[in-house]
Amino acid sequence: MKFRNKVIISFCIIIFVPILLSIVVLFGFRNIQRKTIEQNYGIAAEDYSHLSSTTQLLHRFTKEIFLQMKETAESHPEKLEDTAYLEEINAELNAKNSCLVVRKGDALTYIGGDADSTLLPLLPPYGNMADNDYTGTYVDGDVQALIKQVDFSYQDGGEGSAFIITLLKEDGLELKKIAVDVTVSGLLILVLTACMLTIWIYTSIINPMKKLQVAAQNIKEGNLDFTIEVENDDEIGELCKSFEEMRQHLKDNIEEKIEGEKENKTLISNIAHDLKTPITAVKGYAEGLMDGVADTPEKRDKYIRTIYNKANEMDMLINELTLYSKIDTNRIPYNFVKLNVSDYFVDCVEELGLDLEAKNIGLGYFNYVDEKVQIIADPEQLRRVINNIVGNSVKYLDKRRGYINIRIKDVGDFIQVEIEDNGRGIAAKDLPYIFDRFYRADASRNSATGGSGIGLSIVKKIIEDHGGKIWATSKESIGTVMYFVIRKYQEVYHEQSIDH
């Protein structure tokens, strides 16, 4: 979840959750308080209106007793002179934080035990009785009270009044309790809501940040063998993902660098080993010439020819190393031109034939392509491909009479070149890797026969840069066939390529 959405949700939670919970708590407390008042004072109601009004609540405290006394005053006023009856009524009122006072004329004939003396002079005069059951006289001062009055006439004709006095003190405590409970509950709701939001935001930010901190420390120490797990899709999660991609990229770069250094060391080792043999030969034959060992024209000619051949071998190794550096930086120079297939390969075979004949190796050439077929290629680099493949075959010919066959075939939009030998062959397990740089199917054999281990990788690179493909088949002790294809030149295809 995005942080923008989290902020919106947090805002809504801060605003609406406390309000909703406060409403629920308020109604809960009001309901509890209503039941408490009902149990304590015998007030039953379907709604909560009496809790929101102190006057209504006070009236409800003594409503039933007030109605009872009013009925008694109308039907049996003599009971209001009966002390036992008055004591009974006063006892009921005491349970409701109220008391009873009876007055005859100006004299108080009955005073309930809990009546406050400061209220007695404030009792309303005869005739102040209200018709509404829910009204009374409110007395404000040091002592706050609600006075409900019932007027009646004594048997001797005297004017009498019965007063129900309800103090506000106790009722105020009930209402204050509700206010305190609601206030405390509201504060608790706010605190809990804030804590929940804090924990939510904290865990969504701090936990990923701790992972990033650990990851940064590992990278600082050079340790890249770990994984940053992305658990969220928010901004921090995207940062973790980017950090993980950076770590993987750094690891790949380091591994690639290590592999490159390893390959360079292998190349240097191979070149050094392969240069050592011809250099030693050149040095030995040169010393032979200087010491006069070659004392005949034939020997001198043989020594000079050997030195020349070894120098050519060293030149070939150096050229191979130079070409490898260009391949490694993808800077092989190409000069693509139109070549007639028949003419080009005839020249290549004639050049190869002289060297192979000197080594007692037979060369067969078979061209199955029309004389007019052309290709687009770099003649120098394509010749390098053929020479590398043939030279590789020559190295590993192990038969008394070796041969190499070159076949040119037409395969639709391509020409296919096949170079076959009857050498040692390549094991099936090694065949998929022979075009990899520095791969050696037989390390001891390569060391003995020379070679940097990059010849076939150079061949593959050149063929692929020509838009072709190269592969091989081989059987051990029988021989190997190298195949590569190059697209034929076609006027329509070539013009379309230029237009694009």
Task: Give the tens place of pLDDT for each residue, 382-417.
Answer: 998 999 899 889 988 888 889 999 999 999 999 999
Statement to judge: residues 409 and 444 lie in one domain: yes
The Cα 422–Cα 481 span in angstroms is 9
Domain boundary among 172, 198, 216: 172
Statement to judge: residues 250 and 302 lie in one domain: yes
Tokens of 327: 């391949």
Query: How much is the pTM?
Result: 0.48
Domain boundary among 278, 304, 324: 324
- Between 404 and 1, the more confident residue is 404
Tokens of 351: 């050049």
Statement to judge: residues 470 and 353 lie in one domain: yes
Long-range CB pairs of 15-23 (<8 Å, 24+ gap) are 17/189, 17/193, 18/186, 18/189, 18/190, 18/193, 21/189, 21/193, 22/182, 22/185, 22/186, 22/189
Most confident by average pLDDT, 163-172, 304-313, 315-324, 439-448? 304-313
Question: Is residue 195 one of the residues assigned to a domain?
Answer: yes
Statement to judge: residues 358 and 463 lie in one domain: yes
Is the pLDDT score of 57 beyond 70? no
Statement to judge: residues 122 and 168 lie in one domain: yes
The Cα 7–Cα 201 span in angstroms is 9
Statement to judge: residues 179 and 165 lie in one domain: no
Beta strands 98-104 and 361-367, pairing class: unpaired
Task: Give the tens place of pLDDT for each residue, 114-165.
Answer: 777 777 888 888 887 766 655 677 777 677 788 888 888 888 888 899 998 8
Instruction: Report, as an integer, the average pLDDT of 34-52.
Output: 56
Instruction: Report, as an integer, the average pLDDT of 100-104.
Output: 90
Question: Is residue 117 one of the residues assigned to a domain?
Answer: yes
The Cα 124–Cα 323 span in angstroms is 124
The Cα 427–Cα 361 span in angstroms is 23
Q: Which residue has the tokens 């009524």?
A: 89
The β-bridge partners of 363 are: 404
Domain boundary among 129, 157, 172: 172
Question: Is residue 228 one of the residues assigned to a domain?
Answer: no
Task: Give the tens place of pLDDT for each residue, 65-89.
Answer: 888 888 888 888 888 888 888 899 8
Evaluate the CA torsion angle 50, 51, 53, 55 in order and state its sign. positive
Statement to judge: residues 15 and 84 lie in one domain: no
Is the pLDDT score of 358 beyond 50? yes
Closest CA to 116 of 91, 141, 133: 141
Statement to judge: residues 366 and 458 lie in one domain: yes
Cβ atoms of 60 and 68 within 8 Å: the answer is no
What's the Cα-to-Cα distance from 109 to each of 28, 51, 92, 118, 242, rounded to whole Å?
46, 35, 19, 17, 94
Statement to judge: residues 340 and 472 lie in one domain: yes
The Cα 153–Cα 161 span in angstroms is 8
Q: What pLDDT shows up at residue 448? A: 44
Would you tell me the crossing angle of helices 379-395 and 341-358 to the nearest 10 degrees?
30
Statement to judge: residues 385 and 441 lie in one domain: yes
Question: Is residue 214 one of the residues assigned to a domain?
Answer: no
Segments in 359-477 forming alpha helices (H): 379-395, 443-449, 455-465
Statement to judge: residues 368 and 465 lie in one domain: yes
Structural domain range at position 244:
235-324
Strands of the sheet containing 145-153, edge to edge, are 107-111, 98-104, 159-167, 145-153, 137-139
Segments in 359-421 forming alpha helices (H): 379-395
Statement to judge: residues 87 and 104 lie in one domain: yes
Total domain count, the chain? 4
What's the Cα-to-Cα distance from 9 to each of 193, 200, 231, 462, rounded to whole Å?
12, 11, 20, 61
Q: What pLDDT shows up at residue 41? A: 52
Listed in sequence order, the residues at least 6 apart from 224 whose beta carbon sits closer than 8 Å to its beta carbon are 218, 247, 250, 251, 254
CATH number, domain containing residue 153: 3.30.450
Question: Is residue 438 one of the residues assigned to a domain?
Answer: yes
Closest CA to 399 of 453, 357, 362: 362
Question: Is residue 211 one of the residues assigned to a domain?
Answer: no
Task: Give the tens place of pLDDT for each residue, 457-493.
Answer: 889 989 999 999 999 999 998 999 999 999 998 865 4
Q: What pLDDT shows up at residue 96? A: 78
Tell me, rounded to whole angstroms, the distance of Cα 470 from its chain centroid: 42
CATH number, domain containing residue 412: 3.30.565.10
Q: Which residue has the tokens 């005859």?
A: 104
Cβ atoms of 474 and 419 within 8 Å: the answer is no
Phi, psi of 476 (to 5 degrees): -60, 135
Question: Is residue 225 one of the residues assigned to a domain?
Answer: no
Question: Is residue 185 one of the residues assigned to a domain?
Answer: yes
Task: Give the tens place of pLDDT for each residue, 237-273.
Answer: 778 788 888 888 888 888 888 877 776 777 677 777 7
